[in-house]
Amino acid sequence: MKSKLLRTTLLIIVIIGICIPAYQWNHSNIVRLRNAGKTRMAPIIMVPGSSATKNRFDNLISELGHEAPQQHSVLKVVVKTDGKIETTGSIARNDQQPFIVVSFQNNKDGKKNIDLQSNWLNLAFKELVKTYHFNHFSALGHSNGGLILTLFLEKYLKESPTVSIDKLMTIATPYNMEEENLKKKTAMFNELYKYRDGLPKSLVMYSIAGTENYNSDGTVPYNSVNFAKYIFQDNVKNFTEITVTGANTAHSDLPQNKQIVALIGQYILRENFKPSQIQGNNKNNN
């Protein structure tokens, strides 16, 4: 009896010894195969807010150039009201994460225009994929640029089924427009909420708010930025809210705020800034 029990125990140990390494190998192999189909190029698509031009992110890109260990090329796109696309700049051959700024000839505010701009972004996106042959990307939107990107992801990305988004970061994006009252929901929010199931389930999303006085950044109410959670939470892989305070947190200053520059480096760029750099930038801004 004891001999039989011993043999059974040894057999179980052998089976466990075989299964655990096999499981680990299989899991790592699945991850490797999943990533094997991804192109080396994964651009960062940047969309400015209302009234902003293709040059809106110049200071941000300059700040990133000072901090990041690698330099990134910049392509600027302007989508005309007739759908035609104009470009300036270029993407370097070996640049795996170029910056692509997509702006619009009609860059006016208002829900009607934001809806149009999300459609124009889709036109530009399809052309970029066709030209540069990437199948994954990350995105950054400031102010209403975040609304444009969110609508694009909800409604239009599915029209490019071979392309996926890795990460999205929005800065001071008014998901409930200028409304401060938490009980009042605008038409813009209702549309974003209605189509939230269209968001890519694998998306990692960061929503950043700036506050001069803990209520707003001087333009966008903090409560409006906070409405992002009702759209993204439980609809994407990960959703994180970050609040930046201190100096240079006015709405127009946020894209080049050193704390936010460091967050972009850590969470969006592959270089990944070290946490000490973020702490140092926080200290310098307070």
Q: Examine residue 227 and state whether it is found in any structural domain, yes or no.
A: yes
CA angle, 162 then 265 then 142, to 5°:
70
Count structural domains, the chain.
1
Q: Examine residue 49 and state whether it is found in any structural domain, yes or no.
A: yes
Report the DSSP beta bridge partners of residue 101. Answer: 46, 76
Largest CA distance in the chain: 85
DSSP annotation of 158 reads G
Look up tokens 């199931």; give the residue. Answer: 197
> What's the domain range around 50?
41-257
For 39-70, write each residue's pLDDT tens digit. 999 999 999 999 999 999 999 999 888 766 67
**Within 10 Å of residue 19's Cβ, how many Cβ atoms?**
10
pLDDT at 276: 44
Q: Examine residue 246 and state whether it is found in any structural domain, yes or no.
A: yes
Q: Examine residue 270 and state whether it is found in any structural domain, yes or no.
A: no
Q: Which CATH number characterizes residue 135's domain?
A: 3.40.50.1820
Distance (Å, rounded) from C-alpha 16 to C-alpha 118?
53
CA dihedral 49, 55, 56, 61 (to 10 degrees): 130
pLDDT at 213: 81
Q: Examine residue 33 and state whether it is found in any structural domain, yes or no.
A: no
Distance (Å, rounded) from C-alpha 49 to C-alpha 104?
10
Q: Examine residue 191 and state whether it is found in any structural domain, yes or no.
A: yes
Do residues 246 and 286 make contact, with C-beta atoms less than 8 angstroms apart? yes
CA angle, 41 then 52 then 161, to 5°:
35
pLDDT at 188: 98
Q: Examine residue 100 and state whether it is found in any structural domain, yes or no.
A: yes
Report the DSSP beta bridge partners of residue 44. Answer: 99, 138
pLDDT at 130: 96
pTM of the model: 0.83
Q: Examine residue 22 and state whether it is found in any structural domain, yes or no.
A: no
pLDDT at 1: 56
Within the chain, which residues score under 70 in pLDDT?
1-36, 67-69, 270-286
